[in-house]
Structure 1
Amino acid sequence: MNWYGVMPAMTTPFNSDLTVDHAFLAQHAAWLLENGCTGLVMLGSLGEGATLEHEEKLAILKTAVEVSETTKTPVVAAISALSTKHAVQLAREAEAAGCSGLMVLPPYVYTSDWREMKHHVSTVIAATKLPCMLYNNPVAYKTDFLPEQILELANEHANLEAVKESSADVRRVAAIRSLLGDRLSIFVGVDDLLVEGVAAGAVGWVAGLVNAYPAESVELFNLARAGKHDEAFALYRWFLPLLRMDTVPKFVQLIKWVQGQTGTGTATVRAPRLEIAGADLEEAQAVLKAAQANPPAIKSTPLAALQEA
């Protein structure tokens, strides 16, 4: 498992009857890898994991693994559930399905203290031999894994190899590194913190707008890692209004809407989410119109061309 580079938090495509569209899922995954992504993260928040049935999750993982086999790129399964028991079950079935790693989340709904959260994630991490990434997103999940707690987990679990840091506080990257050095690979987990996070030492990006703009995302990451600050900022300045869509409550609807507008997916979401409308839609339209009016030199290959091929 190579924890490095741009790994999309893949959206889950739905048919008009809201069943999973596995044919498009396979095409979309292959296209993301074709444009330079280094792995696929499935079933996460952006993938509407909380709305998926258990069997749907397994089927999605199997589709992603089948696609990734041709390029030998890893598939990472996001693991969260209402109970620790079910999270462990999903982790073991993800391993059996051929996933290369796990992204371990706090449990859905329940938020508690460190003692209970440590027990939950430790049990999941220990359930398989797969390399694991801890997902820290206190904004969404109300559980904040502090750097000292992450160190504690790393000391107890050799297969904890990475952390997706989504606190939106770039100081956390340096704080984790100061305690753990290079023991864990740090991934930026919010799109509009990429350049700052890489400057602080992050080596990867679990990205959202990459679902519509993979080559642009990979180029931004590579420029940031190479220390080409002027070139990185020029691309970042263009990208930022879009990347900020990843940091608001309706990020799933917004990113899927962008996919629909760019021919890289559809806006279809499962309730309780509804497709964006009203002021949300008007704002998104203005952002996308401005971005399309002044595109960067780097462009992703058209998804339609891949489908035709």
Structure 2
Amino acid sequence: MAIFEGAGVAIVTPFKENGEISFDKLDELIEEQIAGHTDCIVSMGTTGESATTTEEEHLEVIRFTCERVKGRIPVIAGTGSNCTKTAITLSEEAEGAGADGVLLVSPYYNKATQNGLKAHFTAVANAIKIPAVLYNIPSRTGVNIAPQTIVDLCRDVPNIVGVKEASGNFSAIAEIMQLSDGAVDLYSGNDDQIVPLLALGGKGVISVLSNIAPRTAHDICEKFFQGDLEGSRKLQLKALPLIKALFCEVNPIPVRAALNLMGKQVGVPRLPLTEMEPAHQELLKKEMEKFGLL
């Protein structure tokens, strides 16, 4: 059984003016997501700025999220690293905190071989009992998890259950599903590709869009699963201009700006990320207005 089906939010980690994590604001965001019918909270992923938080902060956010969600919906903790030992430690701590699963990004910068990726993910998964979802995003990590590698891991390691696919390579994604014969729980890592990925047998999306439009992301999936393919398609296409604006600069710069435009006061990104350029922010604002968010 999949950890979740539908739309999981890759939730932003809010910061105070002094750059510290705002747990009060995170509490508000979590409640708003649950009220907006989000199907899963994904804590401390790329959108949560895992790359610019300390290990202590990283785990504190995961613990806080699990405590506040209280089992109402699943929580998946981002615990990947380019250091296998670190990924094991983070994953063990997330399991202890009550996470329902972990999200393991492919080791970045190292550019491991496919055999190295298999050994890395297997070592992390074997250290925990909760399910693990692989995260393939070669544009940011510099390494691609090959379809056969994904399928082999999901078949050979009992608690590696699926993949968040953000490669955008639909030939490879189709190959995963063709090779796996149902052994891989597939999630879209790109908000503009939810419907086509669901059509290949996907379980849902791990979404940036959900931060500002949780009901839309949820409904795209729900309508598809209920057989309302036309309704799902129309929602996907309607959201495309907004999604494009949310990625006109590197994630999570735009989504953080969008939440601030909505009055959520989630702060500015941590360096080396910077605030959104004025021209891009104006574009984002216009698309949010068209979508009824402002």
TM-score, length-scaled by structure 1: 0.89
Question: Aligned residue for 1:27?
Answer: 28
2:133 pairs with 1:133:
yes
Q: Number of paired residues? A: 293
What is the aligned partner in structure 2 of residue 306 from structure 1? none
Cα–Cα, structure 1 residues 19 and 29, in superposed 2: closer, same or farther, change >3 Å? same
Q: Is the 8 A contact 2:137 2:144 kept in 1?
A: yes
What corresponds to 2:289 in structure 1?
A: 292
| Closer/same/farther in 2, CA of residues 97 and 228 from structure 1, 3 Å limit | same
- Counterpart of 2:101, as a letter, is G
**CA contact under 8 A between 2:125 and 2:160: conserved in structure 1?**
yes
Residue 257 to residue 203, structure 1, CA distance change in 2 (3 Å): same
What are the Cα deviations for residues 254-280 of structure 1, in whole angstroms up to 9, with x where unaligned? 111111112344351100000012xxx
Matched residue type, 2:193: L
Instruction: Label 1:265 to 1:195 Cα distance change in 2 as closer, same or farther (>3 A).
Output: farther
Q: Distance in 2 between matches of 1:164 and 1:232?
A: 20
Partner SS state of residue 251, structure 1:
coil
1 CA distance for matches of 2:71 and 2:158? 29
8 Å CA contact retained: 1:259, 1:266: yes
Q: Residue 162 of structure 2 aligns to a residue in which SS?
A: strand
What RMSD, in angstroms, separates the aligned Cα atoms of the two structures?
Answer: 1.9
Task: Render the CA deviation track for 1:143-190: whole Å, top value 9, x for unaligned.
Answer: 111111112112220111121111112333321111112212110011
Letter in 2 for 1:129: K
CA distance in 2, matches of 1:141, 1:120: 15
| Inter-partner Cα distance in structure 2 for 1:285 and 1:221 | 29
Query: What residue ranges of structure 1 are gaps of 5+ in the alignment?
Result: 303-309
1:240 maps to what in 2?
240
1:73-129 Cα offsets, whole Å, 9 max, x none, are: 111111123421111111111111111101111224321211222211111111101
Write the deviation string for residues 194-226 of structure 1: whole angstroms up to 9, x where unpaired.
111112211111000111111121122222333
Instruction: Tell whether the 8 Å contact from 1:239 to 1:291 is kept in structure 2 after alignment.
Output: no
Where 1:206 maps in the other structure, the secondary structure is strand
| TM-score for both structures, normalised by structure 2 | 0.93
Q: CA deviation at 1:284?
A: 3.8
The match for 1:198 is 198
Which residue of 1 is the match for residue 157 of structure 2?
Answer: 157
Q: Deviations over 1:206-256 (max 9, x none)?
A: 000111111121122222333423323332232111212455551210111
Aligned identity (percent) is 25
SS of equivalent to 2:272: coil
CA distance in 2, matches of 1:84, 1:167: 22
CA displacement at 1:34 relative to structure 2: 1.3
Letter in 1 for 2:283: A
Q: Distance in 1 between matches of 2:249 and 2:70?
A: 34
In 1, the alpha carbon distance for the partners of 2:71 and 2:154 equals: 32
Instruction: Give the structure 2 partner of residue 220 of structure 1.
Output: 220
Distance 1:217 1:53 in 2: 30
Tell me the secondary structure at the aligned position of residue 164 of structure 2: strand
Match of 2:266 in 1: 266
- Does 2:103 match 1:103? yes
SS in 1 for 2:273: coil
1:77 counterpart SS class? strand
CA distance in 2, matches of 1:51, 1:294: 31
Please give the alpha-carbon distance, in whole angstroms, between the structure 1 residues aligned to 2:121 and 2:245: 29
Comparing 95-104 and 82-91, the one that deviates more: 82-91
Alpha-carbon distance change, 14 to 113 in structure 1, aligned in 2, over 3 angstroms: same
Output the amino acid matched with 1:43.
M
Structure 2 counterpart of 1:286, one-letter code: L
